[in-house]
Amino acid sequence: MSDDTHAAPPADEPGFAGFDPAPAPSAAPASNAASPYRVLARKYRPAHFGDLIGQDAMVRTLTNAFAAGRIPQAWMLTGVRGVGKTTTARILARALNYQTPDGGGGPTTDLREFGVHCREIIEGRHIDVQEIDAASNNGVDNIRQINDAVRYAPVSARYKVYIVDEVHMLSTGAFNAFLKTLEEPPPHARFIFATTEIRKVPVTVLSRCQRFDLRRVDASLLVEHLSRICAAEDVSAEEEALAAVARAAEGSVRDSLSILDQAIAHAAGTITLEDVRSMLGLADRARVIDLFESVMKGDIAAALGELRAQYDAGADPTVVLTDLAEFTHLVTRLKLVPDAVKDNSLAQAERVRGGDFAQRLSIRILARTWQILLKGLGEVKQADRPIMAAEMVLVRLAHAADLPTPDEALRMLRDGSGAVPSGQGAPSAMPRPPSGGGNTALAARPILASANPMPAPVARAVAAPAAIVASLEDVVALASQNRDITLKIALERDIRPVRFEQGRIEFSLVEGASRTLAQDLSRRLKEWTGQTWMVAVVNAEGGATMREQAVAAKDQRENDAAAHPAVKAVLERFPGARIVDVRDPRAVAAAANAAELPAADEYLPDGEPLFDDAEPDFDGIDF
């Protein structure tokens, strides 16, 4: 903020946005006595570019453009309500027509001192700066009047400036009538358009303007701005109260000043957080966090009790759920961006407890909570009894807070180790939360200690032993056990192993193999072993595939068998005979014993083996 702008208005004026944080005590009574009360949004309206907050990119661009003399014939200012579109338009008109009392000066962005035309422009009463409301002047005839008047030179200023507010309200014919004048205006005319609906403005108009998107003002900047205004107004306010005002304004400076004006009248003294909450129907942030914790623990009775208490205190159920959704978003943001805890607009409880929740809750739980709240908000807004709809949203949220994903549910059903979801006939042996409701995202690891801690639900009676995967053969065996035949065949046929260690597999692919094999294998290993595996396809030349190794081993066995004297004699005795298969009797006997089946075909009628144990079994000679 500028320290010298307040000197420009006379003593009987309430002042502009460039104000002195500590005005002279003697000036205040005279000002209040000489003029009626002006709301804060008008009293502290910015008068020059230094007063604008949160629009640094636009101010920098305009400053450089004016310094270089690159001033376009039209500007398009867009943004949400209350971010300063009309105010910026007036400051631009003032910058275009800046003139010192001695007749000097030119277009400039250094407007800390008021010039000849500045006061009339800022107050919206200069004859050469016309402000037009497009909502009520949206016809072709209105634009025709502008086209006729723009040809005449300004009366006293350097430029004729037309400020068209809510320009998107113009009709199609009015836009078309504006195009020629907008493209080639007289050298003494400039146009400034403001709109909240930039998508409704034709591209033919946008292409003729220099566009600036005014951003929502950050909550921390709004808190600092409100603090300075409170100091200038000799009003004391708690920092948390100003933070609540800034959050309610949602980035709009005008809305924040309107709420602050109301809070000053409501409090009749020091503005406290309780004053702002009761005035706006907001819920206590600490109580919202308590409600969030109860829901995440699955303590439905406590959650419903807390919601009813806030409702009885005057909180709107829709606002409570909105605050709950905002806190869910905050916890998610703190989990992904830990530095967000440094945001000055956050209360101490939000920083400490929000960070604790971020460490304990998974993204899956937070995302599901957000989705349920978002859908529930629409239901509450449409319900005849919002409090009942809000209670049902909390019940749904507590039960669904820690439900497994479809993949996890299938795996638990397949392994026989999953618990039946609560409310669906859970076994009596499993402890339940005190309220008798819901899965609990935080029950097994409560954040706050209490005299009666909630028992942690037991997910499974006996933990299944983790699968041991020490080689590619173990992976194939695991795929076979889980009946994933497609993956088993792909592992045997399509991959050439390069590197295998615990948690990491690297291989190259044969020609024609699936390009998603690595992702599929990584996902399956995560499901089967409960561990994260890094599976990568590399360009290095890998070894032989398992099928190639099996074929090579089979060929080697057949060659060895063909060299055996007994087999050689058989092959010579029966021309055309060939070896079909070669088996190791020890492996066959072990498999038979494991299956508790006799291996009768591997023995002679008298019980003697076909060959000694040290010899391979040459079985299946085809004639």
Provide the pLDDT confidence category of residue 2 given band limits of 50, 70 and 90: very low
Query: What's this model's pTM, rounded to 2 decimal places?
Result: 0.53
355, 334 contact by CB (below 8 A): yes
pLDDT at 490: 84
- Assign 129 a pLDDT band (cuts: 50, 70, 90): very high
User: Residue 537 in contact with residue 509, Cβ under 8 Å?
Assistant: yes
pLDDT surpassing 80 at residue 422:
no
- Burial profile 399-409: b = 16 or more Cβ within 10 angstroms, e = fewer: bbbbbbeeeee
Which H/E stretch holds residue 119? Answer: helix 118-122
Q: What is the DSSP letter of 157?
A: S
Q: What is the pLDDT of residues 588-603, one digit of tens each?
A: 666 656 544 444 444 4
DSSP assignment string, 481-505: HTT-HHHHHHHHHHEEEEEEETTEE
- pLDDT classification of 432: cutoffs 50, 70, 90: very low
The stretch 393-400 carries a mean pLDDT of 87
CATH architecture of 46-213: 3-Layer(aba) Sandwich (3.40)
Token couple for 120: 């009339």
Q: For residue 361, which of 440, 450, 460, 438 has the smallest C-alpha distance?
A: 440
Query: Tens of pLDDT along 225-242?
Result: 999 999 998 889 888 888
Work out whether strand 74-78 and strand 189-195 pair parallel, antiparallel, or are unpaired. parallel
Residue 446 scores a pLDDT above 60: no
Output the CATH code of domain 472-543: 3.30.300
Alpha carbon separation from 234 to 10, 424, 458, 558 (Å, rounded): 20, 61, 59, 101
72-86, 284-298, 310-324, 428-442: lowest mean pLDDT where? 428-442
Q: CATH 3.40.50.300 residue ranges in the chain? A: 46-213
What pLDDT is stored for residue 168 in this prediction? 92
Mean pLDDT of 373-387: 91
Helix (H) or strand (E) segment spanning residue 191: strand 189-195
pLDDT above 60: residue 448: no
Residue 81 burial (CB < 10 Å; 0-12/13-18/19+)?
exposed
Supply the pLDDT for residue 364: 86
pLDDT at 261 over 70: yes
Given pLDDT bands bounded at 50, 70 and 90, which one contains residue 430?
very low
How remote is the C-alpha of 236 from its chain's centroid?
Answer: 36
Element holding 506 (H helix, E strand): strand 504-509
CB 354 within 8 A of CB 330: yes
Give whichever of 28-32, 114-118, 470-474, 569-573 has the largest mean pLDDT.
Answer: 114-118
User: pLDDT > 70: what percent of the chain?
Assistant: 77
Q: What is the DSSP string of 399-451?
A: HHTTPPPHHHHHHHHHHT-PPPPTTS---TTS---TTS----SSTTS-SS--S
Q: What is the pLDDT of residues 300-335, one digit of tens each?
A: 898 999 888 888 877 889 988 998 998 999 999 998
Task: Indicate the pLDDT class of residue 76, thresholds 50, 70 and 90.
Answer: very high
Rounding to the nearest 10 degrees, give the CA dihedral for residues 247, 251, 253, 254. -90
Average pLDDT of the chain is 78
CATH 1.20.272.10 describes domain 285-407: yes
Is the model more confident about 391 or about 423? 391
Least confident residue range of 428-437, 474-483, 491-500, 548-557? 428-437
Q: For the ranges 222-226, 292-296, 610-614, which has the lowest average pLDDT?
A: 610-614
User: Tens digits of per-residue pLDDT, 7-16?
Assistant: 334 333 333 3
Cβ atoms < 10 Å from Cβ of 16 = 24
The residue among 477 and 605 whose pLDDT is bigger is 477
Question: Does the pLDDT of residue 407 top 50, yes or no?
Answer: yes
Residue 207's pLDDT band, with cuts at 50, 70 and 90, is very high
The per-residue pLDDT for 527 is 83
Q: Which residues, in sequence order, are CB contacts of 550 under 8 Å at separation 6+?
A: 492
Please tell me which of 193-197, 280-284, 519-523, 553-557 the model is most confident about, judged by mean pLDDT. 193-197
pLDDT of 59 strictly over 70: yes
Category of 561 on φ-ψ map: left (φ > 0), alpha (ψ -120 to 50) or beta = alpha
The Cα–Cα gap between 273 and 284 comes to 9
225, 55 contact by CB (below 8 A): no
Q: Residue 587's pLDDT is what?
A: 65
**pLDDT tens digits along 605-623:** 444 444 444 444 444 545 4
Supply angle C-alpha 296, 302, 308, rounded to 5.
115
Q: Report pLDDT digits (tens) over 536-561.
A: 888 777 788 888 888 888 888 888 88
Does the pLDDT of residue 450 top 90, yes or no? no
The region of weakest confidence among 12-21, 180-189, 400-409 is 12-21
Most confident of 4-13, 46-55, 527-536: 46-55
pLDDT band at 570 (very low <50, low <70, confident <90, very high): confident
- Could you give the residue range(s) of every CATH 3.30.300 domain in the chain? 472-543
Task: Give, in order, the Cα–Cα distances in Å from 485 to each of 351, 503, 537, 548.
Answer: 50, 22, 21, 18
pLDDT tens digit string along 130-164? Answer: 999 998 888 999 999 999 999 999 998 999 999 99
